[in-house]
Amino acid sequence: MTVVTRRHFLESVALAAPALANRSLAADPIPLGPNVSLKGHRPFPDDNPWNRDISQEPVDPNSDAIVASIGLDKRLHPDFGTVWQGAPSGIPYVVVDSRQPRVPVRFEYAEESDPGPYPIPPSAPIEGGPAAKGDRHVLVLERDTWKLYETFSSYPQDGGKSWKAASGAVFDLNSNQLRPAGWTSADAAGLPIFPGLVRYDEVMEQKAIRHALRFTVRRSRRAYVPPATHFASRLTDANLPPMGMRVRLRGSVDLSQFPPLAQVILTALQRYGMMVADNGGDWFLSGAPDPRWNDEEIATLKRIKGRDFEVVKMGNVVTR
């Protein structure tokens, strides 16, 4: 993830914050541990941008040019599954409760990070595995407070008694509050990572994904659109995608040719779409690892090409 230093805005961008509309967490608690089922509980209120049905929203006037800049014939790349090069494939997460001790976290970009301590277990799963050299995201969902703690470039210190990270963010999953304008998070766009993942429990247990997903592009614009709050580029070409831009799978795409697993994911892409969250591979779709995934069925998603997507009309594009 590239962090671009720039002037910070003091004000926060916020949306209305109704009470949690999911079933009571106390009545139907989420189990603890790595990559567990959320049992149908959905992060954020129902009217949150992540949870908004955009299937009938207008197409952006510049959609064709933006999609072409990402790649019309490049294929959708599911960046998750069982195992890749000896490590779990995808971005893992762990669910803890309020008894999990909070530990100090030292941030490289402290000015745009929420200060610790964070409830990170010593054995928290790290993206790519303990020896990974990539983004090394750590995602911790605290069940009892319904808060999300995320860090980027995460390294345990002294056996996990503290952590070192490039950046970090805390999200109240009962609220629609965004990051302060101009701030990053554990993601380039200033977005939370966890709510945008394809997860095994939703696909295989719930048989439905009821939120937008996250994806990456190789070249992004020096701009963002809410709910993103940060850009990570010096390129100003208006035909490049800004952070937070949402695309959706065209309704004309026939899903009947895909296995049930893929149909669940593609249906979500038609109804909720996916947001540009970081710089990376073009059309790389993020998900959580799970040894139960059927990698062959996931691979059928690669039949989808860039030309099968359209950009949902964007609102205010922030360029400074």
Pairing label, strands 138-142, 83-84: unpaired
Q: Is it true that the peptide bond before 227 is cis, omega within 30 degrees of 0?
A: yes
Residues 274-320: tens digit of each pLDDT: 999 999 999 999 999 999 999 999 999 999 999 999 999 999 999 98
Regions of the chain with pLDDT less than 50: 1-22
The number of folded domains in the chain is: 1
Tokens 């929203």 identify what position? 57
pLDDT at residue 4 in the model: 37
pLDDT, position 320: 86
How confident is the model over 81-121, as pLDDT tens digits?
Answer: 999 999 999 999 999 999 999 999 999 999 999 999 999 99
Rounded to two decimals, what is the model's pTM?
A: 0.91
Assess if residue 129 is contained within a domain.
yes
Nearest in space to 203 (alpha carbons), one of 104, 81, 84, 119 = 81
Domain assignment of residue 28, yes or no: no
Residue 320: inside a domain: no
96 within domain boundaries: yes
Domain limits for position 207: 37-311
For residue 15, tell me if it sits in a domain: no
* Burial of 255 (C-beta count, 10 Å sphere; 0-12/13-18/19+): middle
> DSSP character for 204?
I
* CB environment 213-237: b (16+ within 10 A), e (fewer): bbbbbeebbbbbbbbbbbbbbeeee
Nearest-angstrom CA–CA distance, 71 and 183: 28
> Does some domain include residue 136?
yes
Say how far apart CA 121 and CA 151 lie, in whole Å.
Answer: 13
pLDDT of residue 29: 86
At residue 1, the pLDDT reads: 38
Asked if residue 8 belongs to a domain, the reply is: no
User: What pLDDT does residue 212 have?
Assistant: 99
269: in domain = yes
Q: What pLDDT, on a 0 to 100 scale, did the predictor assign at position 27?
A: 73
How many Å apart are CA 142 and CA 115, to the nearest integer? Answer: 16
H or E element in which residue 34 lies: strand 33-34
Cα–Cα distance, 203 to 195 (Å, whole number): 14
